[in-house]
Every structure is written in C-alpha cells, then in structure tokens.
Structure 1
C-alpha cells in the first residue's frame, strides 16, 4: 500500500498485501492449523468460514501474531516473519519482528474489549498516541472523523457502559481504523450481539468494503459474506477445504462445504 488514507505503508508493496504460506499451529499437541496458505490483494475482502474448531480464529490471530504459529510464513505489506526460524531468534529480534508485522493490521474482536473506565474518544486515541506516538491533537481529530464514519459522532464523551452492544462494536471498529492499518482483521464481529443489533455493525463493514478497505473477516454470516467477499476460504479441520469467490457460498463443490452452509442457513 502506498501511503493512502486507508493504510499505513509508506512505500510500494510488491505482490499481494497479505501472503500466508504453510501456516501450522498446535495447542498441547493438537493440530489447529495444518499448512494453511492464501493470498489477499489490496482493496479486497476475504471471508473465512467454517465449523467451530476449524481454526478460523487461530488463523486470524496468527495474522496479527496474537498467536505465534509453529511454522510457516506470514507477510503483511513489506514485513514478513518465517515462523520456522522464529524460535531461534534472540528475544529483542523477536519483539522487533512481531511489532513490525502487527503494525500493519488493526484487530476487531468478537467482544469489543473497550477500556470501561475511559470514554469512547479516549479508547480511540490510546493506540495512536501510546503505540504510534502520534500527537494527541492529531489522534483526537482522527478519532472524531472515524466516529462520524461509524455513526457515533455524538458519543465521543460516553463511556462503554452507556452504549449498546452494537455501538460498542462500532467503536471497536473505529478503534482498529484509528491505527491506519493496511489490513483490518475482524473476528466474528457480530457473534456477541443480539440479533437486532447485527445489522448496524454489518452496515459499517459493508461501507468499509465499498471504500476499498482490505479486510479479512471470520464470520458465520453467510449471506453477508456472499455480498461483500472477493475471496472465500472454507476451513475444516485446520485446512482450507474450499477456496474461491462468492461461488463457494452459492455453488460449493465439496460435500463438507454444502453440509456446513445448509446447516448455517437453516439455523439463520
């Protein structure tokens, strides 16, 4: 990405903006990711679907290195980590590599994880000021712009407890955007919401997609994914069982995908 308002990179990126190769992760000896590989180009939306326990959230958290994979490589923009050799690096070098990779992404969690004792505005400026060392006035001006973008311009002085669940999640999205990330990572952003609040959050994500934001979204909202995704990954048992465009959701080729979609659509 080249220094636009939708990202933080200052130089050209060669190839796809997101590149994952042979990603592996196990917990207590149980494999969760078994050789996952995919790419995502700038300005595209990648939707990740699959049954519970298929490795979706672990994959997303690996892109943000909240989980450190056991093997494989992750490249975001112009920074890459080879996790096959990562364990052999010194602690200082590991911290530098993790910070560099994490600096390219903004994370939106299943639950908003806002600081309850801080106002909405204070939640938004925390990362830009404390992590990116941006001037407070600049960060506050940016935060007000983002709150307007997600429809919460009048809630800057409110505390999280004074907001609905949908409003809190929209603040979480604005907080991720405040870091000027190259790629926005959303982990089931509507899963903790009451059904009547889901639409307001999905509306914000739709707007971001229309603006050309690069996003990787773990979601169970099949119809939403069909509408906004340029690429769909269906994970099952720690591997990508099916990959493609929206046709993965409208005309899946694998029986396992068909079974999953039938179950989810009937439940929804």
Structure 2
C-alpha cells in the first residue's frame, strides 16, 4: 500500500540558517507519526512544509494524489506564484487539516460557526448541512453542549478541541498537529490528548509534533526524532523512545523524562 504522506529531500533555510536539512519520511495511511525534538530543531517548519504553510526551498511532498515539487515553486518578479503553482499548493493543502499551537478561532463566531466556516466558504457545502455536520463533530470532541458559545466563553482545552473539530470538518486525508497542548494549562492537557487518542483508534492518519513523550509512546506507530534540522533517529516508539540507539536521542529523552 502506498503511503498517504511522502516527504522527500525537504530543505528550508531562513537567510543563512538551514532549518531543515534533507529530510525524508513517509506516513502510512491510518497511522500516527510523532515528531519529537528540542526547541529550534525544525519540527514545526517541517510540519508546516507538509501542507504548504511553509514553502521549502526544495524537495517533494505528496499527500494522497496531490504532489508539489518545491524546487519548481518560484515567485515571479512581483513576488507572486504563477497560477498553476498556486493551484498545486491549494490541492496539497486541501488534503490536510491543521491544528495550531494557539487555537486561532474566529472570536466573533460561535464554536459551530468556527467549525463550519471552511466547509461553507471553501467547499461550498450547504449551510444547514454544514451546521448539522459541525454539531456532530463537536459532539465527537465532547463539546455538543458548547456549540453555540463564543471562544471567550470556552476554556483553552475546549478551544483547542474546537480547533480539532474544525480541522476534521474539511474531511482531510491527514491531520497535522503542531504542539496541540503546548499553550494549555497542565490540567487541560488530558482532555485534548484523549480526543487525539480517540482519533487514532478510529484510524485517522495523523502527524503530531509534540513534547508529550509518553503520549507519543502510547499513540504513535512511528516516531521521528529531529535535531538540528536532521532526522537523528526514527522507528517505532518501542525503539526510539523505549530503547533509543543514538546518544543524542538518549540525552534528549533523559532530560524530558527524568529532568531532576
């Protein structure tokens, strides 16, 4: 079976600083890939490169039947991308749902309106049908009773769960999570992780950048440990987390799991 996500030889620099250095990996359909690593290692840049939120300097990304060769994505003299390249990036982005660190909800829209905005505006779904589907998704993430509340009336964990429902509303082939619990108070982390665990059980394809190492060990099928823009070690969590071979991986995990 072909992978649902394939990233080949991705590179990205900001000025003279090369953030991603020739990274390649694949995600099997229905699997969960966790990306671990220290701050500044390139994790978020890599994740954002998968759907074109960040434009790598080179490399190829494929999600389902969408493919972009970023070496060919070049702005014209006015700094704009040609129409064909914009269309290719749009096709790639449409294959994934993105859950941000900060919730990025529309403050003037209710929870269900935040969830239905994409299906109505981007996909042209009938508003009544989108509303029904949006309420069903909010029920899935445990927020049926909060569908008509505004973001300021919700806790941080509830807002993040709205963000997850919003990502699912577009019926993506893969869901990308960027440190989904990093902005939450510790007591709210569990409610978000439970939703992600449920999605994994349902067979959603997911790529998760996270610092929750124990959670990654329980949920992920495959783990990438990234440091300095490189994949230092990868494999199943039983190897990378429970029995890492690379000294840098061992050092990182020791500091995270046994900080004292």
TM-score interval (norm. to shorter): over 0.9
The answer as to 2:236 corresponding to 1:249 is no
Over aligned residues, Cα RMSD in angstroms?
A: 1.2
CA deviation profile, 1:108-150 (whole Å, cap 9, x unmatched): 0001100011111110110011111111111111101100100
| Pairing 1:1-268 to 2, within 5 Å after superposition | 15-87=2-74, 91-246=82-237, 247-267=239-259
Between stretches 81-90 and 51-60, larger displacement belongs to 81-90
Residues 222-250 of structure 1, C-alpha deviations (whole Å, 9 max, x = no match): 00000000000000110100000012000
Deviations 1:36-66 (A, max 9, x none): 0000111000000000111000000001211
Alpha-carbon distance between aligned partners in 2 of 1:138 and 1:24, rounded to the nearest angstrom:
41
Q: Which runs of 4+ in 1 moved over 4 A?
A: none
Alpha-carbon contact 2:75-2:82 (below 8 Å) kept: no
Deviations 1:41-99 (A, max 9, x none): 11000000000111000000001211000000000000100111221785211210110
Counterpart Cα distance in 1 of 2:118 and 2:93: 12
Gap change, CA 1:141 and 1:57, over 3 Å in 2: same
Please list every run of 5 or more consecutive structure 2 residues that lacks an aligned counterpart in the other structure. Answer: none
TM-score (norm 1): 0.93
Structure-2 separation of matches of 1:233 and 1:44 = 14
Cross-structure match for 1:7: none
With normalisation by structure 2, the TM-score equals 0.96
Distance in 1 separating the partners of 2:247 and 2:18: 23
Taking the aligned partners of 2:103 and 2:50, their CA distance within structure 1 comes to 19
Q: Could you say what secondary structure the match of 1:251 adopts?
A: coil
